[in-house]
Chain A
Amino acid sequence: MRRSFFPIIFVIAGLLAIWYAAVVPMNIKMALTAAERNGFVVTPVGAKERRDRSAMLLVVQNTFAIKETFALERPRLPAPHQVAAELWDSTINKKITSKRSLVFHGWITLSSTLLGFAIGTGLGILLAIGIVYNRAMDMSVMPWAIASQTIPILAIAPMIIVVFNSVGLQGIFPKAIISAYLSFFPVVVGMVKGLRSPDQMHLDLLKTYNASSTAGFWKLRLPSSMPYLFASLKIGIAASLVGAIVGELPTGAVRGLGARLLSGSYYGQTIQIWSALLGAALLAATLVALISLVQRLTLNRMGML
């Protein structure tokens, strides 16, 4: 723990430094326009004059405005502390039932993420079992699974939403289907590899016991596949979250992290967009960390750690 602490801090500090450094040139033109409106003398005078100037040059010529670039209301690129403040405000200071609470929107997205992840994982495991045990499925399923992943999700998501809407299904379920669509694939690939991972000697051993293929599944193939399954689940849960967010975009949903991104971009609320993005990233990190924890516990119990 202690050993990994400093490298992590170091990397985060580096990223923050780059972020802050980028804020200044990104926002300088807006900051100068605002300053000029408030009666400051800006070189060169007039927004039109400045439009084609290099941002770096403007920063050098107007060092007084650097401070302003970190405090704009609708910056092109919000500074980290602005995003942090917004995150704090919209999670801690708002009632979680409020439409302005990020926790509320996060929960909406999380619930369809989890439902979709459960469906996708279940489907993925079943398909993998089919592929490993059935020759016809072995030959036929994988090409379709691969093909399904080459279709851009942004193209297919609206169709899924519309189709489900037309049969009266709204809200969590269509979004969960998109999550499942994205998350079943890594599970299929990982589980097929995992179920096929036992070496020949372990398989021969079962044969000398005249074991049934059911016994072979429960006592050999399934336990051997566990490390592969967990690796897939980590990819799958992150894909599920992306699926749920994407599922919220095309309908102009009013609830969920995707809706926050969408409304933020309608109204130029960059801080809101960034805080929703960061919120989604934190959620993804938490989910992956949870799966890692379950993985540790499971593999530890199996004596494989």
Chain B
Amino acid sequence: MSRDSVIEARSLNLTFATNDGPVHALSDVNLTINKGDFVSFIGPSGCGKTTFLRALAALEKPTSGTIRVNGLTPDEARQKRAYGYVFQHAGLYPWRTIAGNIKLPLEIMGFSKSEQLRRTDEVLRLVELEDFSKKYPWQLSGGMQQRASIARALAFDAELLLMDEPFGALDEIVRDHLNEQLLELWQRTDKTICFVTHSIPEAVYLSTKIVVMSPRPGRISDVIESPLLAERPLEIRDSPEFIEIAQRVREGLRAGHGSE
């Protein structure tokens, strides 16, 4: 195990028992994620992306194999509040204002009142929602809600961010904008990010490492290290390197399907 590896998964298997028999959500998954990596998980629906993220977060228990998060078991890491989790749907509490939602983890983790305010202001500025702090979730657009839920995950400054299709339901323009912001945030803070997506350009644009997965049973079919520089203007998506990586991802996805 290398010194700066944040996540180590070894021969990971996870099977759900269902009424129609067992579902192999993850089969023999091996993966190392280093500190400061931006890792995208891409693959067809049902290939186990969410399950893998949930297993990292100790929301799902592996059937066999090991996971280490910062050298700890996922449950120990959870108890140390080692990660922030962004769910596929914003999942804001409807009876709390945007600021109130962002304060939720801070209250639970026992930050002082003044620290709560300071951090709430800081992350609200980060996701450009400072003018909406007193609004309720239903008064915001879907994209704004998703930004608020990212701010909530950032508020307690965990080193590791687990994001499950955070921009899945958004239109292309908003998505581009949020991608830029996320990238900028990542560059500034040196966080490790695990990011689930269905979009090839999004995966290539954001990641230092792209994990291509295939279904039935869910497994990793390819891991692509991106040669792109950390500095990435949106125009990079028209460059030959970018197109080449996207091509490789597409082939990985197709191969995964073909083996069915």
Give chain A's interface residues, CB within 8 Å of chain B: 201-202, 204-212, 215, 219-220, 223-224, 226, 302-304
Contacts and interface: CB of A to CB of B under 8 A. Distances in A.
A209 B93 contact: no
A219 B91 contact: no
Name the interface size band of chain B: 20 to 34
Contacts, number: 54
A203 to B, nearest CB: 10
A295 to B, nearest CB: 14
A170 to B, nearest CB: 44
A64 B153 CA distance: 83
B83 A208 contact: yes
Given A303-B95, A303-B96, A210 B85 contact: no
B108 A215 contact: yes
A207 B93 contact: no
A228 to B, nearest CB: 13
A202 B138 CA distance: 16
Nearest to B60: A204
Given A204-B87, A303-B94, 9 more contacts: A206-B108, A207-B58, A208-B78, A208-B84, A209-B81, A215-B108, A302-B95, A303-B95, A303-B96
Nearest to A215: B108
B136 interface: yes
Given A223-B93, A223-B95, A303-B97, A205 B87 contact: yes
Max chain B Cβ within 10 angstroms of own Cβ: one of A210, A302, A304: A210
B107 interface: yes
A75 B51 CA distance: 75
29 contacts: A202-B91, A202-B93, A204-B59, A204-B85, A204-B87, A205-B87, A206-B108, A207-B78, A208-B59, A208-B78, A208-B83, A208-B84, A208-B85, A209-B81, A209-B109, A209-B156, A210-B81, A210-B108, A211-B108, A215-B107, A219-B104, A220-B93, A224-B95, A226-B95, A302-B95, A303-B94, A303-B96, A303-B136, A304-B94
Contacts of A205: 85, 87, 91
A226 B109 CA distance: 25
B44 interface: no
A206 B91 CA distance: 11
Contacts of B138: 303
Rank and list the top 3 A-B pairs by shortest CB-CB distance, nearest first. A303-B136, A302-B95, A208-B85
Contacts of B109: 209
Contacts of A212: 108
Main secondary structure of the interface of B (DSSP, over half): loop
Given A205-B87, A302-B95, A303-B95, A210 B79 contact: yes
A218 to B, nearest CB: 10
B6 to A, nearest CB: 16
Contacts of A208: 57, 59, 78, 83-85
Contacts of A211: 108
Nearest to B110: A215
A211 B84 CA distance: 13
Given A210-B78, A219-B107, A201 B94 contact: no
A204 B83 CA distance: 13
A212 B136 CA distance: 25
Given A201-B87, A201-B91, A215-B108, A207 B79 contact: no
A220 to B, nearest CB: 7
Interface string B166-190: 0000000000000000000000000
A45 to B, nearest CB: 75
B105 interface: yes
Contact of B108 (A209, A223, A226, A303): A209
Interface in B41-76: 57-59
Contacts of B85: 204-205, 208
Nearest to A206: B108
B10 interface: no
B89 interface: yes
A303 B100 CA distance: 11
Contacts of A202: 91, 93
Given A201-B89, A202-B91, A303-B97, A207 B59 contact: yes
B105 A209 contact: yes
Contacts of B105: 209
A58 to B, nearest CB: 63
Contacts of A223: 93, 95
Contacts of A226: 95
B133 to A, nearest CB: 13
A2 B145 CA distance: 36
B69 to A, nearest CB: 12
